[in-house]
Amino acid sequence: MMFVRVCLSCAAIAAFAFPAYTQTATPPVSASSKLAPDPRFQIPATDEGLPGAGPLRRMDWFQKLWTERRAGWATRVQQDRDAVVFLGDSITQGWGNSMSNAFPGMKVANRGISGDTTRGILIRLTDDVLVLKPKAVVLLIGTNDLEEQAEPEVISENLRLILASLRAHNPKMPVVLCNVFPSSASKKRPSDKITRLNQLYFSLVKDEPQVTVLDSWALFAGANGDARAEEFPDLLHPNAVGYLQWAAALRPIFETLGLLPAWPDDFETEPGFVSLFNGQDLTGWVHQDGLNLTGRSETADRRFAALNGRLVVTVARVSRAYQKLQTVRTFPKDFELRLEFRASPSADSGVYVRGPQLQCRDYLIAGPFLTLKHYRPLDWNELVITVRGGLAHATCNGEILIDAFPVPPDGPIGLESDRGQVEYRRIRIKEKP
């Protein structure tokens, strides 16, 4: 299925200038880094004694770019201190200075170098990133390793070393790990290699509580697993639409991590409805292990949390590790349940209606409702579930999801955590007298 994912709540971002980066024979050099070569920032002449394994580029254009950009950054250490650092290759570099326009109120620093590899990141991590004492790091790297024919296992081992260095620097510093974007076999980046690499990346974060994974591959992958020309005209670099969508996918993660302020919600519950979530903590809910969560702001495993007036299902660090939250109360009467949800790319959650589950996901990617016309990717969507006489009827933004769905005569309302981040808000219910 081919579609363009645009975050409606981030429409204002479209007014800012996003670059349409295209690969050239000699990648562009930042105008702000026209400095004389400095041996401190040059690529080592040989691999001897260098960390990691795999490719480290030494073409003339790359060595020039590497040295000039790094020397320029060395003059900005004080200016860029405490920033959220975006670290990567040409996709990151191509975002340029307009990156700050996408996240107003958040200090950012772009540390992307076109053509870079995971091994290159390892070599320059301390001087280009850690010296800034970053508030957080957003990492997207690995596609150029694949072009150089490195195997996913070699690339992922370099990533393990990168994550270990970030943890050693500050184990509480948030790290957002973006899945390697889709590309094309014509770019020496076949979908099966990218898929395998992203799987290996995810396997590394099980014991890395500071790392949040964003499924940016699913955000952009077409039906065949390759990049879509609408967002990647050269099948490698995003255009303005692609950068807009990446920003829209990152923003909810930044809000959950406390890096960006969340828009205040001044919603008032309608007459006759009772709120099931107070917006402050998890009072009224119980974890699947039986623990009553009254007064608690999060579950012990941090898979559910009350943040920014929302009940957030946070990103899991292992695959298919299902967790469940449910109300203390049960609801034997007919009722109407209303809530709003926002799902990260390919995220998977669910709403339990007296026991049975209604899938609540990033529907256009994760399904099962792939043909919804009114679903808003990366934005808030309203879910309405009406139960009458033991049958449930559900709509999303007014479109029917399921009709005459059998449910038990009594039971709680529940939420599931599977994969990706899903936020819930304005959870309220109206029971029939």
Determine the pLDDT at residue 12: 42
pLDDT the model gives residue 36:
54
Cα–Cα distance measured from residue 349 to residue 312, given in angstroms and rounded to the nearest whole number = 11
Per-residue confidence (pLDDT) for residue 10, from 0 to 100: 40
pLDDT attached to residue 73: 97
Is the Cβ–Cβ distance between 149 and 91 less than 8 Å? no
- The per-residue pLDDT for 367 is 93
| Per-residue confidence (pLDDT) for residue 97, from 0 to 100 | 82
Cα separation, 166 vs 170, in Å, equals 6
Residue 108 and residue 84: Cα distance in Å, rounded? 5
CB 273 within 8 A of CB 428: yes
pLDDT at 37: 64
**Distance (Å, rounded) from C-alpha 137 to C-alpha 254?**
11
At residue 14, the pLDDT reads 40
Of 407, 10, 39, 423, nearest to 241 by C-alpha is 10
227, β-bridge pairs: 221
CA distance 364 to 346: 8
Q: For the chain, give the number of residues.
A: 433
Q: What's residue 38's pLDDT?
A: 77
Domain boundaries, the chain: 8-256, 274-431
323-327 and 357-361 strand pairing: unpaired
CA separation for the pair 181, 238 (Å, rounded):
9
Secondary structure string (H, E, C) spanning the chain: CCCCCCCHHHHHHHHCCCCCCCCCCCCCCCHHHCCCCCHHHCCCCCCCCCCCCCCCCCCHHHHHHHHHHHHHHHCCHHHHCCCEEEEECHHHHCCHHHHHHHCCCCCEEEEECCCCCHHHHHHHHHHHCHHHCCCEEEEECCHHHHHCCCCHHHHHHHHHHHHHHHHHHCCCCCEEEECCCCCCHHHCCCHHHHHHHHHHHHHCCCCCCCEEEECHHHHHECCCCCECCCCCCCCCCCCHHHHHHHHHHHHHHHHHCCCCCCCCCCCCCCCCCEECCCCCCCCCEEECCCCECCCCCECCCCCEEEECCEEEECCCCCCCCCEEEEECCCCCCCEEEEEEEEECCCCEEEEEECCCEEEEECHHHHCCCCCCCCCCCCCCEEEEEEEECCEEEEEECCEEEEEEEECCCCCCEEEEEEECCEEEEEEEEEECC
Quote the CA–CA distance of 157 and 154 in Å, as a whole number. 5
Give the largest Cα separation in the chain, rounded: 79
The per-residue pLDDT string of the chain (433 residues; one tens digit each, 9 = 90 and over) reads 334 454 444 444 444 444 544 433 334 444 444 545 677 899 999 999 999 999 999 999 999 999 999 999 999 999 999 999 999 999 999 999 889 999 999 999 999 999 999 999 999 999 999 999 999 999 999 999 999 999 999 999 999 999 999 999 999 999 999 999 999 999 999 999 999 999 999 999 998 999 999 999 999 999 999 999 999 999 999 999 999 999 999 999 999 999 999 999 999 999 999 999 999 999 999 999 999 999 999 999 999 999 999 999 999 888 878 999 999 999 999 999 999 999 999 999 999 999 999 999 999 999 999 999 999 999 999 999 999 999 999 999 999 999 999 999 999 999 999 999 999 999 999 999 9
The domain made up of 274-431 has a fold known as Jelly Rolls (2.60.120)
Q: How far apart are CA 433 and CA 421, in angstroms?
A: 36
Rounded to whole angstroms, what are the CA distances from 170 to 131, 167, 174, 209, 257?
Answer: 12, 5, 9, 12, 15
Residue 245 to residue 8: CA distance in whole angstroms:
10
Interstrand relation of 413-419 and 381-388 (parallel, antiparallel or unpaired)? unpaired
Q: Which of 254, 419, 395 is nearest to 346 (CA)?
A: 419
Taking residue 325's Cβ as centre, other Cβ atoms within 10 Å add up to 23
* CATH architecture for the domain at 8-256: 3-Layer(aba) Sandwich (3.40)
